[in-house]
Structure 1
Amino acid sequence: MTEQDTRTAAPRRPGPGRDAVPVPGSGRPGTGARVRRRALRAALLTAAALPVGTALWIGVTGVLARSEMLAAQRDLDGLRHPAAADRTPGTAREQLAAVRSAARHAARAHRLTGGPAWYAAALLPVAGDPVRTVRGAARAADRLTGQVLTPLADALPAAAPDGRGGALAEALTALRRSAPRLVRAAGVADEVRAEVHRLPAATWLPAADRARAGLSRQLDRLAPVLTDVSVAARVLPPMLGVQGERHYFLAFQNIAEARGTGGVPGAFAVLRADRGRLSFERFGNNTEMTAAGADPGLGAEFAARYRGADPTTVWANSNMSPHFPYAARIWSAAWQRHTGERVDGVIALDPVALSRFLGATGPARTADGTVLTAQNVVDLTERTSYAVYGDQTRRKAFFVEAARAAAARLMSAADDGRTLPGLLLAAYGAEQDGRLKVFSAHAEEERLLASRPYGGVLPDAPGPFAGLVVNNAAGSKLDYYLDRSLLWDARGDDCSGGGHPVTVTVTLANRAPAGLPGYVTLREDAPPYRTRPGDNRLLVSYYASAGALLAGAELDGRPALLSSGTERGHAVFTLDLELPARSRRTLVLHLLEPRADHTPVLLRQPLVTPLRAVLKPGGTCRA
């Protein structure tokens, strides 16, 4: 063995490029600590930058989303109404293009506000409120344009470019085919409306609050319209004879003499509907129906409420109740007793509704050359005719002729593709005013009609309610000159008396001028006290919430005694009131309501002059 072989090899220190096991504490002093400090600084800087970056991202995308939302709003502002009267083929295409453009902008706004940054920021308490509002508003606008307005625009038929017949039949077929889509769209609109109402309304960012408030107002207007359209899509086709012939009793209400549903029933007609073709089989006046009373069995409550007025036997009193289905059932039964014919439903309208229709169709002309227009039909039928036709028989004949002329004009317009959309829009306006009411003798159709204003139903749901109803008790035609106002004030918060205090102030004014025809100022009630021409007498009924109590009342500042009753669950308080010509009387009711912490449902009785109503909801009761 050589010397080299027998030497012991010295251990080698690890060097660069050589594999080695690291030794704790090896290397230059402080190296590990510096590495850890650098890592910690990087982590802290990253953590600090995240909120700034998130805020910057939300700010930039928020500005872009706002631009998209404004663009969508501009598109929708160009639409007067989703069922606008001017739906010529060209206009319909433009409106559909505007809806689709709005849908694209709203979808982009929704995408811009839908990322993880927006989601996380919306979860922050207080600080995240406007983020949650903007994010929710963008999502709501996307659903509104894409799932509601687009299918609605596709479903509604356009006006025909010419005057070919059969327009109503074609529209009913299209409406029936579109009914499922319209029902879905109405359901989505209700969902979106509820979602927007749940969004924060008062945040630290006013712009977000304004956006939510504007969208909420739009949805509050649109959702009921869509529900009305969806109901119409289900009931109009069968009611207008798509599945077989139908017949309806149509009553023209004379609002110069007030009744619960509007005016006293005057002229009438029988409407025939067969596969969308409308025609009138008969016209008549109230004299023919005087002895045609019939009792359809409206229950003990109805009998007790109207005992003495005999609404099932006295034709002029048949619609004293504001609940239209009561009058409709009485009229249907009376017609069957009078003729042996059953009808499939009842329709009621008044001269204001006729003026709406004539505004869409153009003037109508009676056999004697009288021209009926949207501007003169109310005055002509409710005032002028009483001076022109002194003889009662001639006057009633004029009313029938006016109804016949207007009906013929309406039938012609309904069959004309150019005028039908405007006529349908006029009908919708009259329904919303309560001046066109519809009842069906078919249970499922009536169930749907009863859920909407045009069903004329006195609602029986619990909650705050306010309704002023007057019935003419003089037999005069002086309600043409009647003004009504209602102030409902629940601002009191002392509920120690067992309910929420509500003060209702009713003001009635008689503007009847001197020199009116005798038939207008007639006093068929033959009062035991002295009256002058133009003095009126009214049964004034206030419909309160279910369970409401009357704590006291004053008439013109003096204690007044009112009778009480119930109708469809509502507490009803009634005063027999003499209303002299050119006088004003004020009735104040002090009520204890079960709940009055939000605005009540308001019943508006349609007369010549609309009711002026002010509702002042209060706050939470204190014991």
Structure 2
Amino acid sequence: MPAVPGPPGPAQGVFRLRRPLRRPSVRNTLLAAAVLCVAGAAWIGVTGLLARSELLNLEGELSALKQSVTGSSGNGTSVSPERTMQTAAAHAARAHRLTTGPAWYMASHVPCLGRPVTTVRGIAQAADRLAGDVLPPMVELAARPTDDARHDGLQALLSELRGRAPALEQAARAAADARSLADGLPRVSWVPGLDGARAQLVSQLQQTAPAMADMAVAGRVLPSMLGVDGPRRYILVVQNTAEARGTGGLPGAFAVLTADQGRLRFETFGTDTMLASVRPAVDLGAEYRAQYGAMDPTGTWANSNVSPHFPYAARIWTAAWSKHSGQRVDGAAAVDPSALARLLQATGPGRLPDGTALTADNVLDLTERTGYARFADSRERKAFLLGVARAAATRFTSALSTPGQLPELLKAAYDITQQGRLRVWSAERREQSLLQQHPLAGALPSQPGPIAGVVVNNAAGGKLDYYLERKLHWIPGNCTPHGRKVTARVTLDNRAPASGLPPYVTQRVDKPPYPTRPGDNRSLVSYYASSGARLTGATLDGQPVTVGNSVERGHAVYTLDVELPAQSSRTLTLDLLEPISNRTPVLLDQPLVTPTRARLEAVSVCE
């Protein structure tokens, strides 16, 4: 009888062998994972410190680059901008390489703890784009060799711009990508130093990205607009911001100039009287007629720019001069006395016919304040303003042909463009389609999206907007199924003195049926809201009011006629329901003597 097998012994037991083997396997796995985590943390720590060093070196190189381009080093040494740019790009590329790889990728996806890692990676990547793709074309253009003996600086610059246009467009796209990347980084991490570095990068890209976009457009449109492909003729209007209009101020003195191969020549100077009776045949559409038809903008020169959309005014101005003169006009531009002040700062003072110096410090005061007291006769006053326009134009064209002054003129032009005090429109469709994407065009956005702005049109006929101050407080509220609640608070301050002003400044052409005092003003105040906005309530100084509502280029517009006594303040509050957006609105800032003091509150994310 065969023996009955007993229980398996240690050498035979399958189950006894497996259980002891599983524990070392788990322990080893956990140990290996721990080692990998420690190694990964150590790797991130070491490479992070190395990346920080590279970024600090990058910051130093960029500072040196700025000094070498602007010539502000002050130590007498000459540093090659191109070589400095190459060194900066190398530091940025190394910082980016040091913050890539599996360890950095996995650590960045750890909840909460991954925020600083994500921020470091994003900063290094954006810095690499900035130093490697964005800045080189700009530096190459800024560092282009110049010959102080040459008098064709603008012509040479236009040739350079045209040749570098593709590179500038590529750099503009890279700048926009870097800005989007930086904007998307966590705003708050548990490392305060990183939050500050991110905020600094975002601030830098908020300036660099639009500047690169402007340079890209300049490369495409400036050469042709300034006559490289053949002569061009433009009407240039000086807007008097002492009497507000939609694009800035009352269209007063103007000049007609030609551009040929980068050389500018002023052909004609005139005042509003010359075009007062001209009625050009311009059709700006049914929406425009419904909004502004009662003001007769195409037949009344003084009201030709009541809309803040500059292309409307430009089309009226070009058509008016063409009808008056029989000449072809290729576009229009507008400046104001504040813009002339910035240009005179770059060119140096001019000289008026009576020998008075025209300077950056006195041009605004002469044209919009003391000039009215000096000349009681309107013909003498307009002749004086025409003399100011001629003196400024002469000084500008002289500076253009003076070796070494072009860089300062370009800086001045950029500054006044950023302030909204230089507007340009081209009759050539390709050029205008490019211009209209940028602030230089002064175009009211037509695409949907949040927008906020105050536009004032003087309704009294005086020149009291020299003393007007505007404030806008935009306050987003809770989200509802029908949209986001928004409160727009507009405050107007009339700082005009109650006595001592010339009658021409304080006149009331509107002849109101109620008593007024010298210094009292009246304004048509329009608030521009987002597309699809709905008004739920309005008050003036806390009292309910009824406001007019219309639509311009897709945006809701709410208008109220406001009497503004001297030395007084009035507040218009609008309660709105706007389409939900998590973006801060685009600010529409009408360029008057005193810029709007705007406060746009941060937008909370709607779930």
What TM-score, normalized to structure 2?
A: 0.91
Indicate yes or no: 2:117 matched with 1:134.
no
| Aligned residue identity for 1:505 | R
Q: 1:516 to 1:442 in 2, by over 3 A?
A: same
Residue equivalent to 2:169: 183
Find the counterpart in structure 1 of residue 597 from structure 2.
612
Q: Which whole-Å CA distance do the structure 2 matches of 1:355 and 1:392 have between them?
A: 24
Give the conservation status (yes or no) of the 8 Å contact 1:505–1:588: yes
Identity of aligned residues (%): 56
2:411 to 413, 417, 425: 425
SS in 2 for 1:250: strand
For residues 274 and 332 of structure 1, do their structure 2 counterparts lie closer, same or farther at Cα, with a shift above 3 Å needed? same
- Gapped runs of 5+ residues in structure 1? 1-24, 26-32
1:305 aligns with: 291
Pair 1:95–1:375, CA change in 2 (3 A): farther
Deviation at 1:227, TM superposition (A): 0.3
Letter paired with 2:544: P
Paired residue for 1:226? Answer: 212
Once residues 222 and 72 of structure 1 are traced to their aligned partners in structure 2, the CA distance between those partners, rounded to angstroms, is: 16
Amino acid corresponding to residue 169 of structure 2 in structure 1: V
List per-residue Cα deviations over 1:128-183 (Å, max 9, x = no partner).
33223312321221221011112221123547352531111011111111111111
Greater C-alpha Rg: 1
Deviation string, structure 1 residues 100-136 (Cα, Å, up to 9, x no partner): 3321211221222234433443344444332233123
Aligned equivalent of 2:308: 322
Alignment pair present for 1:334 and 2:310: no
CA contact (8 A) 1:474 1:537 kept: yes
CA distance in structure 2 between the partners assigned to 1:65 and 1:412 by the alignment: 50
Shift of 1:439: 0.1
1:595 to 2:571 alignment: no
- In structure 2, relative to structure 1, the CA distance for the partners of 1:150 and 1:407 (3 Å cut) is same
Taking the aligned partners of 2:20 and 2:581, their CA distance within structure 1 comes to: 70
Kindly state the Cα deviation for residue 190 of structure 1 after the two structures are TM-superposed: 1.1
In structure 2, what is the equivalent of residue 249 of structure 1? Answer: 235
2: CA distance between counterparts of 1:589 and 1:34?
A: 76
Contact 1:159 1:420 in 2 (8 A): no
CA 1:560 to 1:126, structure 2 compared with 1: closer, same or farther past 3 Å? closer
Contact 1:548–1:591 (8 Å) recurs in 2: yes
Query: Measured at CA, do residues 557 and 363 of structure 1 come closer, stay the same or move farther in structure 2, by a change above 3 Å?
Result: same
Select the residue among 460, 485, 490 that pairs with 2:476.
490
Provide the rounded CA distance (Å) in 2 between the counterparts of 1:82 and 1:148.
18
Superposed counterparts of 1:554-565, under 5 Å: 554-565=539-550
Aligned to 2:390: 404
Counterparts of 2:485 and 2:294, CA distance in 1: 32
1:577 correspondence with 2:558:
no
For 1:29-44, list aligned pairs within 5 A.
none
**In structure 2, what residue type is equivalent to 1:528?**
P
- Tell me the equivalent position of 1:13: none
Letter in 2 for 1:144: L
| Alpha-carbon distance change, 85 to 168 in structure 1, aligned in 2, over 3 angstroms | farther
Provide the C-alpha distance between the structure 2 equivalents of 1:46 and 1:512, rounded to a whole number of angstroms.
Answer: 78
Specify the SS of the correspondent of 1:306: helix
**Residues 200 and 587 of structure 1: is their aligned pair in 2 closer, same or farther, counting only changes over 3 Å?**
closer
Structure 1 residues 375-427: Cα deviation after superposition (integer angstroms, max 9, x where no partner):
11111111111111222111111111111111111112222341111111111
Structure-2 residue corresponding to 1:144: 130
Closer, same or farther in 2 for the Cα pair 1:55/1:293, shift >3 Å? Answer: same
Q: 2:184 aligns with which of 198, 213, 216?
A: 198
CA distance in 1 between partners of 2:188 and 2:144 (Å): 42
Task: Kindly report which structure 2 residues correspond to 1:224-373, keeping only aligned pairs within 5 A, or say none.
Answer: 224-373=210-359
Which sits farther off after the overlay, 34-43 or 537-546? Answer: 34-43
Shift of 1:592: 1.8
Asked if 1:553 is matched to 2:533, the reply is no
Alpha carbons of structure 1 residues 534 and 47: separation in structure 2 relative to 1, 3 Å: closer
396, 399, 423: which is aligned to 1:413? 399
SS at match of 1:282: strand
Aligned positions, number: 593
Secondary structure of 1:462's partner?
A: coil
Per the alignment, residue 77 of structure 1 pairs with 63
* Change in CA separation of 1:458 and 1:358 when aligned onto 2, cut-off 3 Å: same
Alpha carbons 2:68, 2:80 under 8 Å: kept: no
Task: Please give the alpha-carbon distance, in whole angstroms, between the structure 2 residues aligned to 1:536 and 1:293.
Answer: 29
**What's 2:100 paired with?**
114
Q: 1:464 and 2:445 equivalent?
A: no
What corresponds to 2:86 in structure 1?
Answer: 100
For residues 254-287 of structure 1, give each alpha carbon's deviation from its aligned partner in whole angstroms, at most 9, with x where no partner exists: 0011000000111101111000111101111111
Whichever residue aligns with residue 537 of structure 1, its letter is R
Distance in 2 between residues matched to 1:505 and 1:468, nearest whole Å:
10
Structure 1 pair 392–421 and aligned structure 2 pair: CA distance change class (3 A)? same
